Structure 1
Amino acid sequence: MSLRKDSYQALVFDLDGTLIDSAPDIAAAVNKVLERRGWPTQGVAFIETFIGFGPRRLLLDMFVALGLPSDDATVDEAVKEYLDNYNREPAERTLFYPHVREDLEALHGAGVRLGICTNKPQGLSLKVLEILGVAPLFEAVVGADAAPVCKPHPSHLLAVAERMGITGEVWAYVGDTAVDQATATAARVPFYAVSWGCGKQVAVESKWRLDRLIDLAANSRLVQGR
């Protein structure tokens, strides 16, 4: 991790909570599952605490926390319904975090290669990126169901690097959770935590915390025009 921040040739990002605030759409899909079963609906802030390990863990952990039925059959049915709900409205309420879109475009324009490693399902990830108009910026997107194992297993992150053809110490991973941090650590890849959303809760030294994504670009001041 001795590589200078201004020398990265490629960056791989987590998606939810790092680039986009998708919690309102995820919560809407979850609450439809709860409502149909006559269970109490939950606030976005509560549901957001379970995001990060993929749909099944989200629902299983939430059901357990709420004291709801959590047997395999119940959870499996709920996951299918949740994904159906989410696919119908994948980005109705989803927004980029401040400056993220412009920074992604600036990084891409500066020649930095971009990828995504996310525990969101592959189809949903691609659909959301397409709707938000940033799909062309990313060389590789690997969702949880597009890799043999998903985060926090390092193979998920390394699968993105393999698809992009990047090796060695020329790239870094950017995320917002301890799951992302553990994934990067296991893959022996430099990790940066964003300073927004849940990212501020991830314990990293100040040099590994980002206020802007563009700060990872070479000559970032020139790219930003500041």
Structure 2
Amino acid sequence: MSAFSALIFDLDGTLIDSAPDIAKALNVGFKLNGWPELDSAYAEKFIGNGPRRLIIDILDDLAIDYDEATVQRAFDGYLRAYMADPAGQTRFFSYVREDLAALRASGIRLGICTNKNHEVTQKVLDQLGLSTLFEVALGADAVPACKPDPGHLLAVAKSMALERGSWAYVGDTRVDHQTAQAAGVPFFVVPWGGGAGVDIAPEHRLRRLADLLEK
């Protein structure tokens, strides 16, 4: 039986493989500026810090000149396209759907802390049939400062009325790990997404989400 009465999860790269839908929407925004089309596997390497940072990080990596106006145009195009169909090509990682159901059935309360846009987050959860599993899901623009600012994660915990020491955070990136460390809460990393690149003790590495029932 888990020592935690609640778990908060990252979304992209942790519960779902959303890179194809994100790349598809990014390409709509990029096309507005005449920027090159992006491959899903390439775009995936930059996911984790929210869409605006995602755009800027890719532009920097590709050595493409930009200014605030072109970034805003790309962001607006991305958001419109993503809102229109946020989960058409999105898939769950192995055993995620059934393991989330098992965690919830065991009495563990669930929440989400994601750098995805808040409105898009709600739509993705609805489209994937996950909304009823999570008590609270806060996107990046629902808080004053998003991950790695610990206030984002703590805002989810506060909304769920969680007591310190009763919950943990689960993610797949160094940003997620840094957020948990700054918030002073236990962190567990999944093996997929960017999980392999996170420097963490072996006992905090999961094989699948059901492992959390024994943590």
Give yes or no for TM over 0.5. yes
Q: Is the 8 A contact 2:8 2:167 kept in 1?
A: yes
Give the SS at the match of 2:194: helix
Matched, 1:64 2:60: yes
What CA RMSD, in Å, does the superposition of the two structures yield over aligned residues?
1.3
Q: What residue number does 2:24 align with? A: 28
How far apart, in 2, do the equivalents of 1:35 and 1:27 lie?
12
Matched, 1:205 2:173: no
Q: What residue number does 1:180 align with? A: 176
CA deviation after TM superposition for structure 1 residue 32, in Å? 1.9
How far apart, in 1, do the equivalents of 2:133 and 2:2 lie?
20
Compute the TM-score of the two structures, normalised by the length of structure 1: 0.92
* Superposition map of 1:30-109 within 5 A: 30-109=26-105
Unmatched tracts of structure 1, length 5 or more: 221-226
How far apart, in 1, do the equivalents of 2:62 and 2:110 lie?
38
How far apart, in 1, do the equivalents of 2:168 and 2:73 lie?
37
Unmatched tracts of structure 2, length 5 or more: none
CA distance change for structure 1 residues 76 and 36 in 2, over 3 Å: closer, same or farther? closer
Count residues in correspondence: 215
The amino acid of 2:194's aligned partner reads C
Q: Is the 8 A contact 2:29 2:76 kept in 1?
A: no
CA deviation after TM superposition for structure 1 residue 39, in Å? 2.4
CA deviation after TM superposition for structure 1 residue 68, in Å? 1.7
How far apart, in 2, do the equivalents of 1:86 and 1:36 lie?
15
How far apart, in 2, do the equivalents of 1:70 and 1:164 lie?
40
Q: Which moved more, 1:34-43 or 1:162-171?
A: 34-43
Q: Which moved more, 1:139-148 or 1:33-42?
A: 33-42
The amino acid of 2:91's aligned partner reads L
The amino acid of 2:58's aligned partner reads M
